[in-house]
Amino acid sequence: MKLNSLTHFSLALLAAVLLQACGGGSSSETLSDNGSNNLPVLEQGQQATDSDGDGVPDINDAEPNNINVAGTLTIRRDIGGVTGAGGTEFRRYNTVGFPYRSYTDDDSDGNWENEYSYNGYRQVSQRLTDTDDDGDFDQTYTNTYNGSLVSQRYAQGNTANYTHDYIYSESGVLTQINKDTDNDGNLDLRDIFTYVEGTYNAPDLVELDVDNLDAASATIDYIYTDDVLTSVNYDTDNDTVIDESVSYTYHENGQVETVSYEDTGDSNPERIFNYSDDGVLQTAIEDDDSDGTADLTETYFYDGNRVIRIEGDTDNDTIADQETLFTYTSVGLADTIIETVNGETDVTYTYFYDADGRLTSVTKDVAGSTAEDEAVVITWDGYVGFVFFSFEF
């Protein structure tokens, strides 16, 4: 297991800042309510035309003749100056701002590789996939819910290939997944979840080969001390020998202090986190081979509660040879992220917004390499009240 470098870490942070710019939090998939997309305010006595009767005036309806759709969102990725080279995603939203349909076109050739349908709880109910890019969907994934997911079925054409059934306890906790991998009506594999008593977010996962119930095919054990996760052990071939493990230690205030990885290889990396007295991350140290010498030290600098700079020392000489700089707009939205190596600009990310503060594009400018330049372009149309963004360069 290889830990993230400063560049990879700042890219993850880039995604987080991007989401914050859209009104969300620091999750990789964040729900955002864009108030600027609310319905227009009409003058007294003014009448709004609503052709499809969905309650959204045509002036703010992306599809005024479709009662199911009020807004659309297009997300296009350009690479090396080629429009759409990284694919296009098209989302359609209903009158309450929830997703109705979404489509992905991996090469922007006009054929959708995937079409997603949603239920009223924003859960994916069906996915259609075109595997040979001929314009026809040939695979179908169907999810059934009863509040939580209860079954998942995959079909190639009209032939069902597998079915997964999800079993829950009376209190609604997932306890088992039954897998019919060839859809012959017989159970082939089983994921069984056991829990620390009274702690239902702490599973011990065992995947069993049902043809030989005496031997599990793999085991993942979650170890807790005083209800705190201290290690995760992986026995990938169920020979009772731990093949990989991740161990955690914590500061007195509960924040993670160290994350240590062990496997059968020569590298057993460790990451160490240090915080200020009020719990703000100050340094993150990577020791790739657990020899006690830092291979990368990241130091964080803030303006209030916002990160403005991350310095990276890759040769343990206390001198930063990598740096990531963050700037913000006057209203606190992400403006630029600049990555430097040995004082020279390496990559620059720039954020652009419309007059309502909605993100319209993010560009990646790689110094000396236009072929690696990228841009994500976002087009808003109609009433889009709630948006999930989840992408990174």
What are the tens digits of pLDDT across the range 290-315?
A: 888 899 999 999 999 999 999 999 99
Most confident listed range (62-66, 74-78, 166-170, 207-211): 74-78
* 381 CB-near residues (< 8 Å, 6+ apart): 62, 71, 72, 73, 74
Give me the pLDDT at residue 62, please: 87
Which secondary-structure segment (H or E) carries 76?
Answer: strand 71-79
Evaluate if residue 91 carries a pLDDT over 60.
Answer: yes
Q: How far is CA 259 from CA 71, 84, 243, 275, in A?
A: 44, 39, 17, 15
More confident residue, 195 or 12: 195
85 — pLDDT class (breaks 50, 70, 90): very high
pLDDT in tens, 311-341: 999 998 989 999 999 999 999 999 999 999 9
- CA distance linking residue 289 with residue 8, whole number of Å: 19
* Main-chain phi, psi angles of 131, to 5 degrees: -80, -20
Whole-number Å distance between alpha carbons of 367 and 389: 27
Query: pTM above 0.85?
Result: no
Question: Which three-class secondary structure state does DSSP give residue 223?
Answer: strand
Please report the pLDDT score of residue 333 as a whole number. 93
pLDDT in tens, 50-80: 898 888 888 888 899 999 999 999 999 999 9
Residues in the chain: 393
* pLDDT-wise least confident of 14-23, 72-81, 83-92, 260-269: 14-23
Give yes or no for a contact between 81 and 102, defined as CB atoms under 8 angstroms apart.
Answer: no
Q: Where do the domains of the chain lie?
A: 6-39+52-389
Residue 48 reports pLDDT greater than 50: yes
Nearest Cα to 285, choosing from 259, 303, 324, 304? 259
